[in-house]
Structure 1
Amino acid sequence: MKISALWARLRNHPLARVGPGFVTGVADDDPSGIVTYSQAGAQFGLNMLWTMPLSYPLMAAIQVLCAQIGRVTGRGLAANMKASFSPAILFMLVLLLLIANMINIAADIAAMGEVAQLVTGISWHIMTAVFVFSTLALQIFVPYHRYVYFLKWLTLSLLAYVAVLFTIHVPWAEVIWSTFLPKLKLNADTAAVVVGVFGTTISPYLFFWQASQEVEDMKVGGGSGLLYEDAAVGRAEIRRIQWDTWSGMFYSNAAAYFIILTTALTLNAAGIKDITSAAQAAEALRPLAGDFAYLLFALGILAVGLIGVPVLAGSAAYALSEVFGWRASLEDKVTQDKKFYFIIAVSVLGALVIQYSPINPMKALFWSAVINGVVAVPLMVAILVLASRTSVMGSFVAPKGILMLGWLATAVMSIAAVLMLFA
């Protein structure tokens, strides 16, 4: 089959028509997130499954609001915040986001390199560099309207964690019971893992990415028409955003649920209760669930990393560019958006430098989680305020139900931030 014919088939496939919510959801389950979910399952068994049903409506509500702000206004999240709030405060929040994202990218590519070494036998240092330059080249040299199709196909990688469950025995009655009635001791260890799970699930970089991707999709779709220009189109777009985002976040949370479940039924059951890297989680599965389960888990980590790294780098670049008023679009060439692509390059190459420094990427990830947890709260408040203002959203202000879920999510993240800082 010719490449042109294959490309045409990929573009016309139903998966290619899913929106930014699906890609954003999968990016949430990046390699460092998989480490967090694996640790939750290994340390607490089935008793951390409840975190996913609880976090699902909270993260979905916030992401819906971000997507709607982007699509209704035709501007990214940082641009809207700049117009409504203090630029100085916004700059500090975005700068912290950039630092946290760089550390997160470092942890992700370290995990990808280690897992690739397990699968291929090639040094993780070499594989890390390969992943860094590959993802950077794709973002810089491939136009958004083509690059995004590859990201959408990579979302299928999360199915690997569903497939792993078919290689082991699952006591479903016990699983369902533990999901809704867990047996937990309220202590510092429990608090640390719960905070880690929520901090990984509801992350600031996802806010900026999804809003900006709605703007990108709007431009690629053939124009910059805003929703208020056609009420019928506006209502259809809002329904599309809600369906895309709720389904994308469900897919993400379901995969995270299955990761916790898989590691609970294998690692925890075998007495392995401390996971410090994605490679360790994958390797530990091999003697317990077999080579097939190990390979699926490992390949899933590599594939979601290819989504997570560009999203982390892109979200910071969009946010910083909007703060300074720089042109920013993955659809543009480097010569058109030099500063935007420079931030992407700095984020990814800075993460590579961390690999060769005395800094432990996985330990640095803890501080990334702390920064994200602190930054998330004021950002979520700003998102909720923007989404409820008619001066910003016109007739498409967010309904009360979504806003209530958003405020509940903000309260949960506020508690998580306090626990991260003072527990």
Structure 2
Amino acid sequence: MTVTVLPNGTTTCEGYLYDLWDTVAHELGLRYRMVPLLKPLYGSMEANGTWNGMVGELAYGRADIAVTTLDMRSDRATVIDYIDAVSVTRTHSKFYVRASSHLVPEVTTETLSSLLKPLHPDVWWTLLVALLALAAALRVVVRCSHAASESRQTVERMGWVACLLASFRSLVGQGWESAPNSVAVRIVTSCSWMLGIIIYASYTANLISYLTVPKQDLPIRSLREFHEQPGWRLAVQPGHSILNDWKQSRSEEERALYRRSQAREGIIDIYWNRASTQRTLETKVLTYVNIDPVFRILREETCSLVPIPDLPVKTNEVYMAIAKGREDLRGRINQVMRRLNEEGLLKRIKGQWLKSNDAICERPAGFREMTFGDVFVILMIVPLGVVLSFVVFIETKSIVMSFYIIEKIPEVVTEACEKSGTGREF
């Protein structure tokens, strides 16, 4: 519901909740006056035990009915009553962050392991076991083959290392310089080649799919990272019921969120106006919110907010509320709400205001171009290979030179002795 204060001090209201309440009031013949809150808080218990927000307005007799969407909670039910015949809507509250898109990703352990993502870790372990098994089978079959089937040179050449390299070449689709002659050995090599073709095709297909499907890069993935990384802020609606849940949570990270909200450390208040809601799009902001109102205010800009997948989602049926001691009025309102729901009028009013947000962030079907960040790890294979080659070359060169020096020492000493006339030889 949107409340606008006019220059003359009067207010105008519009939206789903206002149309719903106006319909209920018309059915019951009620006269009412809409009074907006100075701070649109839902209502949570303060540290001193008092209630703020709309719950406080009802609890302390300053209002009769709250035309809003309140979670049904046992602590709130001690001071207010709910118009609970029919819920006005359902909310899905999650943690959101602004997705980051880097052309060149940061080099992390996860980045370097991206080449392994097309296949499940169980597949990689099975593939390693299969590689060792095929190498062992190849070595045993070659070793035990009849002399008429395999030449002595082939048996000597196909040692353990050669069999392991041969199995690896088969798995990656490479050929051999020569193939063994025996049927048993060729059966083993055929199995390794077939396994290689299947794995090669599956890996390639999944890798292309992984690279071309749009994905979001999240700056944090847990509340622990939120607390550990400096400069992060929390955006939440003042008086949100989740604050009381965080206060009593078993999770230390959630209790830390409550303490931060009470101390006002890095807190951004969401008041459902464009100025405060747009702050959820800033970097290093963790937002806990029902995303539907954000969509209605920011529209396409909201698509940059991405839910953190490993954090819990809170789904609630929400209701309007009424002050205690008005059981007759509450019963009559519930009766009208129940009839509006049965006649489909409640759904019709909701459909006029609450549209689906799925189509706003839909991307066109097809593929996306692969960026440098997508193939960064693949391209790193070349410089890493060059560096490793030079390291091995230098190490090999130093070893060869050391042997060369050791071999030359006796000759140099002998020559020196001959020149000095001692005649000693080594």
TM-score bracket, normalised by the shorter chain, equals under 0.3
TM-score by length of 1: 0.20
More helix, by proportion: 1
Greater C-alpha Rg:
2
TM-score by length of 2: 0.19
- Greater relative contact order (CA < 8 Å, ≥ 6 in sequence): 1
